């Protein structure tokens, strides 16, 4: 894969919808969510963490399972860099998106060999999803990431089935 071929997210038109929550608010979901999700997966598959961070609003945050959130593009880029370092051949595949009320679920599969510093040398393939809330301008404001951490840990030690 030529990792340089993946571009940065472009400003995309967004769809305004209203929720029926007690605090009714506007949602800014990109009108072409499929293309947005494909670009996001491709950004994770590069060696350029700033490309991942560019999909987030300036004060966006990234939280995975029960971990502490990474707040702001610099912190999000640091999270991306740590995975890119641990899995230099990492490919994140876009599986599908689902609309869940006022949020979008982005389903993904990560595949790569843990050959970074201190790595186990094992191939890992794990799937999960991010529960996205969008900010004004159609960038991700708050994704909540979910994956099977026990299965991930097992694969780090024994490899993917």
pLDDT in tens, 74-129: 999 999 999 999 999 999 999 999 998 889 999 999 999 999 999 999 999 999 99
Contact of 55 with 41, CB cutoff 8 Å: no
What average pLDDT does the chain have?
Answer: 87
- pLDDT for the residue 30: 85
The C-alpha atoms of residue 158 and residue 146 are separated, in whole angstroms, by 22
Q: With the C-alpha atoms ordered 78, 38, 55, 150, is the resulting torsion angle positive or negative?
A: negative
- pLDDT for the residue 27: 54
The answer to whether the predicted template modeling score (pTM) of the entire model surpasses 0.85 is no
Q: Which stretches does DSSP call E strand in the chain?
A: 14-18, 26-30, 61-64, 70-71, 91-100, 103-113, 123-134, 140-147
């Amino acid at each position: 894969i030529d990792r340089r071929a993946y571009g940065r997210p472009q400003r995309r038109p967004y769809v305004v919808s209203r929720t029926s929550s007690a605090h009714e608010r506007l949602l800014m979901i990109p009108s072409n969510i499929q293309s947005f999700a494909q670009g996001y997966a491709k950004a994770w598959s590069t060696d350029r963490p700033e490309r991942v961070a560019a999909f987030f609003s300036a004060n966006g945050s990234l939280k995975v399972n029960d971990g502490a959130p990474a707040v702001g593009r610099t912190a999000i880029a640091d999270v991306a860099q740590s995975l890119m370092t641990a899995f230099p051949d990492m490919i994140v595949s876009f599986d599908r998106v689902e609309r869940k009320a006022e949020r979008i679920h982005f389903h993904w599969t990560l595949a790569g060999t843990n050959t970074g510093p201190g790595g186990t040398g094992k191939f890992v393939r794990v799937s999960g999803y991010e529960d996205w809330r969008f900010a004004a301008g159609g960038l991700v404001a708050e994704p909540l990431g979910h994956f099977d951490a026990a299965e991930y840990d097992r694969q780090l030690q024994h490899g993917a089935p």
